[in-house]
Amino acid sequence: MLRTEGEIIITRDGKPVAKLVRVRELRRRRKRFDTQRHAAWQARMSRGRTTRWVDEFLVKDRDAS
Rounded Cα–Cα distance for residues 43 and 38 (Å): 9
Give pTM, 2 decimals.
0.36
Q: Are 8 and 18 in contact (CB under 8 A)?
A: no
Render each residue's pLDDT in the chain as its tens digit; 65 residues. 777 888 999 999 999 999 998 887 777 888 888 999 988 888 888 776 666 777 778 888 888 76
What residues are paired with 12 via a beta bridge? 15
